[in-house]
Structure 1
Amino acid sequence: MMKVLITGSNGLLGQYLVQRISALPGYEVIATGRGANRLKMQQGYTYEAVNLLDEAAAKGLVARQQPDVIIHAAAMTQADDCERSKDSCWNTNVTVTRSLLREAEKINAFFLYLSTDFVFDGLAGPYKEDDPVNPINYYGASKAAAERIVMQSKTPWAIARTVLVYGLAEDPRRGNIITWVKQNLEQQKKLKVVTDQWRTPTLVQDLAEGCKLIADKRAEGIFHLSGKDMLTPYEMAMQVASHLQLNTKLLEQSDSATLRQPAKRPARTGFIIEKAERELGYAPHSFEEGLQIVLEQLAPAENKKG
């Protein structure tokens, strides 16, 4: 029986990791998040409410559970929040990672760290795993710092970097680009969408599967896990509108400068995922397929409301 500890289990990725891994034979899942368990699926795994910023609590969790694998998905991920609250961002993304790694080293647990395309400056995307990092905002800097700590660790480790994760969260207040475009255009509202950022958007189910493949194989090193399609947010929004036969004329092209966001965004990131395809058998959906999956998941929820 392989025991897997998943941090950040109330988050979008955490939710899908818990579902995916706890369904597998031979795996025991310990999920942890801040406060109460917010997942609809309450069976088939153990949940512990732990504030990982409390080092003694984090230490106690790992000592008690003795996991074989730790998937560290908990993080402060909103770039603008990180820019505004740098201490919180550093403590959450760097200090917590360091303290969890110390505990992982004591029991030689395999440590999988979730990271981001924002460790790159966006001048030369799409990126391979060994391209040099050069973050241009505080969120990216905190994740790059945590990556360095992981790489220096004495326990077996992997880093899974990803890009613009989308999917349906159990918390309906948590939007994504698909629901955002859908809701606004259905209400005939105009939307300004940027055309000067390029990403390879990642379906959350694909990311969860990639993490599972890394854990299964105990595959060490850095892996880029994202979608294959290089798109701007405007192109994504156009695909959503066209797919749903909504009015594309309500979508206005704009550039990042008009948004006045506290955190600078890298212009062109996106990933080359050949290493993950070759070494893990990672096979992500296209954005069009991902869009279809999310809309199919959304339909029952909307029918209930209707």
Structure 2
Amino acid sequence: MGYKVLTLKHMDEAGHKYLAEHGVEVITSQYDSEEGFLKEITENQVDAIYCRVDKITHAMMDASANLKVIAKQGAGLDNMDLAYAAEKGIQVVFSPAGNAQTVAEHATMLLLECAQRARYVDCEMRRGNFNVRYTLTGTHDLQGHVLGLIGCGRISQLFAHIAIHGFGMKVIGYDPFLKPEMLREPIELRPTAEEVWKEADYVSIHMQSNDATRYSVGYAQFSSMKPTASFINCARGDLIVEEDLIRALDEGKLANAALDVFEQEPLPMDHPFLTRENVVLTPHMGAATEDSVIRCTLSCCEDIVRVFNGEAPVCPAPKHN
């Protein structure tokens, strides 16, 4: 076939094997910047770009006359301009279903860590305070408590399934695009997001990052939460105003936060989140289990080959951002 794929980050071996079997050469980038990516795209005139969260710029799309397809390992497509890709005739593919269960399970882990104040307890135990268990307050069973979901799509519904059937929680949600009959789980939809923020013991956001949602969660939302409540974000870091979350936590407007995503990644080592014992942090790894990575990698690689063969991809990106 003679085609070349540049992967901007390490690609799982399953993808290398699949592409090799179909005569496709994989070039793993030696850089971590647009300048370096542009150099490799230009020098190799690649037929495809394989990415995770690295931004795909217009210049990168312009750098190879052979570029036919961009494959995104994951569900979020906010790291590229889909309209520009379509204008250039570049097919974008992604893997929206491959990591949904994984992210839902990661959100569940963060939920449990908030309920048990795991970050604080871990810090205390490492200081030698094994008896922290005797004086611990603000920890709760999940049964009977309320999980609130902002955005009730695929991942939210899987998360709700775990919360309802695994822990006996009540789940409420807000999603302007869904009606109750469209839900596979008994999520009680509220007419406004404000009601979810006020009523829930745990609020987890599951929205795409776009012009309408970016920085849409700020002090007004955080300050309307119960002072005993927790906030969870496994979606995108730029959905929230981080300074507002810090302020709300410091003022006791909510009790805990658990974050997998951040406005700037990697998270700067001087960021205020790092010093707070009521903030659980994970490094954008909600979809990073071996199982999820293999599923998403193969889905993308299969669609790359389909595009090279002139076939329609199974998971094309939506036509608009």
- So what's the TM-score if we normalise by structure 1? 0.37
Specify which structure has the higher proportion of helix.
Answer: 1
TM-score, normalised by the number of residues in structure 2:
0.36
